Amino acid sequence: MPPRHTSPEALLKTLSTNRGRSDRLTHTEHLPSRPARHSSWPEGIRPEIREAARELGVAEPWAHQAEAMELAKAGRTVVIATGTASGKSLGYLAPVLSDLLDGTEARNGRGATALYLAPTKALAADQRRRAAELVPPRVRVAMYDGDTPPEEREWVRQYASYVLTNPDMLHRGILPGHARWSSFLKALRYVVVDECHSYRGVFGSHVAQVLRRLRRLCARYGAQPTFLLASATTAEPGVTAERLTGLPAVAVTEDASPRGPLVFALWEPPLTEHVGEQGAPVRRTATAETGYLLTDLVESGTRTVAFVRSRRAAELVALQAQDLLGKPLAGRVAAYRGGYLAEERRELERDLHSGRLLGLASTSALELGVDVSGLDAVLMAGYPGTRASLWQQAGRAGREAQGALAVLIARDDPLDTYLVHHPEALFANPVEATVLDPDNPHVLAPHLCAAAAELPITESDTELFGPSTAQLLPILERRGLLRRRGDGSWYWTRRERAADRVDLRGSGGNPVQIVEASTGRLLGTVDAAAAHTTVHTGAVHLHQGRTYLVQDLDLETSVALVEAADPSYTTAARDITSISVLSTDTSQGWGEARLSFGSVEVVNQVVGFLRKRISTGEVLGETKLDLPPRTLRTRAVWWSVTEDQLFDAEIPFDQLPGAAHAAEHASIGLLPLFATCDRWDIGGVSVPLHPDTGLPTVFVYDGHPGGAGFAERGFRRAVQWLTATRDAIAACECERGCPSCVQSPKCGNGNDPLDKAAAVRLLDVLLAGAPVDGVPAGGGPVGGAPAGSGPVGGAPPEAAAEAPAEDGRHRASPE
């Protein structure tokens, strides 16, 4: 077996020349090494902390760590936004633990306390171990989450100094029971918000309101904690921190940690002999290609993590590599994902760190901060959705300043195909800003109810919760949720817990339970919003590698009855969608065309499902369904063109539905390049003649009530976004459209009609009138109160649509 530290260039050459793969490598980027810059320990960092750090190999902090420590000790809200393995944890732990040690010596009651928030339980457990390495036992560090036994919870409330939890537990457990936490909140000195870039969209907006509720209760008990945030490298981290906490923030962004050279390769799997919908060519899946590459790297003795998009894919990649390797190397490959016991995950981390494991197929559970070092290579089975996540994953390799290899393996979709053929989109552009909107009334209203149940809301709270508060309070009173007292304060009127009405993860109602009909065994749950498309009667459902057929979906009881089966087909829901414009916030002329942003109402109904052959995707038949329609009021960006423009683009009316539908699909696929979203977070509708605009119109909308900020980001970056969309379609080598350009994996119309060539001409005529500087007219924020209203009407039945899946698969969640 070759030596472990084979150069990344040599590793890549081996991968690309083996088995005639040279044509799959589309680009190689060489990133130089970076030397370390150290700084002295700031004043106020306790000698015990310094000594513990020295024992861990840290004689002096890096410059960005020292800067963060000084800001924290000065009471400033600070966000550390530096690269993977840059020591962000020490940057906030040193000042936090120093102050907690000071508090234990003061002997003034309980002493100072601190709260740590992580998006996953695994990360919180990892942080508990790191804190224990740095601080003496007299600082009591404790976990408080759904797995904490009841007898331990009381001890944590009364005695713990540093409590590690997640936003869900803070929202449901700590804030509603704040009276029992009074001694902890009264002494709260710091709040640490780790991996804050993961709090985006609706989830991030909810967490922002949870933090405002925390600040309000702390003030009630006389505390004003300092907020310390850690983030992957993102655009405008200070702005993100301010939106999340509601406080002015200072960003520490200059990374002073050492980094070895990184070779970053872009890789496109080969075409297969199979054909998909409408006879389109199909590429080998990124999951299968990753399994082959992981096999080769393990054979060469290379310690590798392969990041995949789902728990099932993690198991499949590991199984494929084990089968190809055979004994004894098969025993050195494993899967790592949420759903494993904590002891199993810790053992896998230790085995990977020690070198006993050479290959690990992992979901993003290993991306967020868990300490895994010494890797030689990282494989990424598909673009992870944002450049921030891409660099987080790539940064897992080369963590000891040695050279490392990162390979992005494209999925067969427009975004991945565009990226592997346009490397400048990854390497010449900054990472995205984190998108969230705490003032979204659909988010704010239930938090106002929760806040009122915790402590009556007064006029002084309006500034804390946001400008929409004053308008929402009377509405909540009319609904019988709040009541106003004579002193002007608002309080909760119901017997049930107000916090239970808030869905932090945005799943949209009670989850549907998946029950095995013959045994009554609960297999799992699916979000209510996804139930119509994933567990409708007749659907094929996968659970832990086993296949089930849905016998019945009962929406009244939120139960889907399934039975084990082994069908030779998969299923795909068919739906119809109409969209109406409720109000237009802002609009801009693009020559004769027009680009707009505002509020819309989307009505979606699943009307049937297709059965498709597993091996080829061939449609075997269609079955009708009778499910109720669902209505979503949200935010959208849309563009319309005139009949004269269609004439100039040589698009006759019979080609228009296919042209608009193809442009819609591709634009949805490319929006994640410009906003921190996934195509599953957004939806779209294309209409040859929309009643509200009177013109051919394409809509792209947020798949969450009230919006999540993604459509707004599309409006702001429309020129770049739609130019990339046009280029992605034009550059694809297929003749009539395929999954790499205009076909969608979640199209409710079965990807019919689609006209690839006409879509390029349509986008050409649209972009011909685009502003030269790429900035929408006015240049200011596009949120806030509607600027104008359009007529309310439904789209005609020939509208083509791609609805958001809303299945939660790409949202952060506790493991």
Kindly report, residue by residue over 399-445, the tens digit of the pLDDT. 656 789 999 999 888 888 888 988 988 888 777 677 788 888 888 99
For the record, the structure tokens of 662 come out as 């193809």
Query: Residue 136's beta-bridge partner residues?
Result: none
Dihedral angle, C-alpha 765, 766, 768, 771, nearest 10 ° = 170
Tens of pLDDT, residue by residue over 7-30, are 899 889 989 987 778 889 999 999
Residue 246: CB partners within 8 Å, gap ≥ 6?
208, 211, 212, 215, 438, 464
Confidence of residue 507 (pLDDT cuts 50, 70, 90): low
Mean pLDDT, residues 524-542:
85
For the record, the structure tokens of 214 come out as 């925390």
Q: What pLDDT does residue 599 have?
A: 96
User: CA-CA distances (angstroms) from residue 65 to 91, 191, 250, 665?
Assistant: 4, 17, 14, 44
Identify which has the larger pLDDT, 192 or 204.
192
Q: What pLDDT does residue 791 have?
A: 28
Confidence of residue 506 (pLDDT cuts 50, 70, 90): low
Identify which has the larger pLDDT, 672 or 801.
672
Sign of CA dihedral 774, 777, 779, 783: negative
CA 597/CA 7 separation, integer angstroms: 50
With tokens 């994996």, the residue in question is 745
Look up residue 516 and give its DSSP letter: E
Residue 485: CB partners within 8 Å, gap ≥ 6?
456, 491
Do the beta carbons of residue 670 and residue 724 sit within 8 Å? yes
Q: What pLDDT does residue 374 have?
A: 66
Percent of the chain with pLDDT over 70: 89
Confidence of residue 784 (pLDDT cuts 50, 70, 90): very low
Look up residue 284 and give its DSSP letter: P
Percent of the chain with pLDDT over 90: 57
Look up residue 783 and give its DSSP letter: -
Q: What pLDDT does residue 797 have?
A: 35
- Supply the pTM of this predicted model: 0.77
CA 115/CA 139 separation, integer angstroms: 13
Do the beta carbons of residue 741 and residue 620 sit within 8 Å? no
Q: What pLDDT does residue 447 have?
A: 96
Inter-axis angle of helices 237-245 and 201-220, nearest 10: 60
Three-state DSSP state, 181:
helix
Tens of pLDDT, residue by residue over 348-362, are 878 887 888 999 998
Residue 340: pLDDT over 70: no
Q: What pLDDT does residue 781 have?
A: 37
3-state helix, strand, coil in the chain (%, to 5): 35, 25, 40
Mean pLDDT, residues 128-152:
89
Lowest mean pLDDT segment, chosen from 37-51, 72-86, 434-448, 459-473: 434-448
Tens of pLDDT, residue by residue over 447-460, are 999 999 999 999 88
Identify which has the larger pLDDT, 423 or 279.
423
Do the beta carbons of residue 414 and residue 666 sit within 8 Å? yes
Residue 615: pLDDT over 80: no
Lowest mean pLDDT segment, chosen from 251-260, 558-567, 610-619, 787-796: 787-796
Mean pLDDT, residues 721-726:
96
Residue 812: pLDDT over 50: no
Look up residue 488 and give its DSSP letter: S
* Residues recorded for the chain: 815
Residue 804: pLDDT over 70: no
Residue 715: pLDDT over 60: yes
Q: What pLDDT does residue 283 have?
A: 82
CA 102/CA 43 separation, integer angstroms: 13
Q: Please spell the DSSP secondary structure of 552-582, one letter per residue.
A: EEETTTTEEEEEE---SEEEEEEEEEEEEEE
Look up residue 329 and give its DSSP letter: G
Lowest mean pLDDT segment, chosen from 113-122, 319-328, 429-438: 429-438
Three-state DSSP state, 228:
strand
Which of 190, 203, 189, 195 shows the shortest CA–CA distance to 241?
Answer: 195
Tens of pLDDT, residue by residue over 591-608, are 999 999 999 999 999 999
Q: What pLDDT does residue 271 have?
A: 85
Confidence of residue 783 (pLDDT cuts 50, 70, 90): very low
Inter-axis angle of helices 88-106 and 47-55, nearest 10: 140
Q: How many Cα atoms are found within 13 Å in the side-chain-facing hemisphere of 276?
A: 23
- Residue 163 corresponds to which amino acid? V
Residue 362: CB partners within 8 Å, gap ≥ 6?
305, 306, 307, 308, 314, 335, 336, 337
Residue 722: pLDDT over 90: yes
Q: What pLDDT does residue 794 have?
A: 33
Q: What pLDDT does residue 803 have?
A: 66
What's the chain's average pLDDT? 86
Q: What pLDDT does residue 792 have?
A: 29
Residue 539: pLDDT over 50: yes
Q: How many Cα atoms are found within 13 Å in the side-chain-facing hemisphere of 154?
A: 2
Mean pLDDT, residues 78-100:
93
User: CA-CA distances (angstroms) from residue 310 to 324, 388, 502, 512, 776?
Assistant: 21, 19, 27, 20, 37
How many CB atoms neighbour CB 541 within 10 A? Answer: 20
For the record, the structure tokens of 336 come out as 């790592």
Do the beta carbons of residue 685 and residue 664 sit within 8 Å? yes
Mean pLDDT, residues 140-144:
94
Residue 547: pLDDT over 70: yes
Helices (H) and strands (E) in the chain, counts: 25, 30
Confidence of residue 367 (pLDDT cuts 50, 70, 90): low
CA 605/CA 603 separation, integer angstroms: 7
Burial of 148 (0-12, 13-18, 19+ CB in 10 A): middle
Do the beta carbons of residue 419 and residue 427 sit within 8 Å? no
- Residue 627 corresponds to which amino acid? L
Q: What pLDDT does residue 529 have?
A: 75
Look up residue 76 and give its DSSP letter: -
For the record, the structure tokens of 698 come out as 């394409």
Most confident of 273-277, 279-283, 627-631: 627-631
Tens of pLDDT, residue by residue over 254-270, are 999 988 899 999 999 99
Lowest mean pLDDT segment, chosen from 137-146, 365-374, 696-705: 365-374
Q: What pLDDT does residue 85 have?
A: 78
Which of 777, 738, 737, 744 shows the shortest CA–CA distance to 758?
Answer: 737
CA 510/CA 506 separation, integer angstroms: 11
How many CB atoms neighbour CB 153 within 10 A? Answer: 16
Q: What pLDDT does residue 3 have?
A: 41
Please report the domains of the chain, with CATH numbers, ordered by start residue: 8-30+259-427 (3.40.50.300), 47-252 (3.40.50.300), 441-501 (1.10.10), 512-567 (no CATH), 572-802 (no CATH)
Confidence of residue 544 (pLDDT cuts 50, 70, 90): low
Q: What pLDDT does residue 386 have?
A: 78
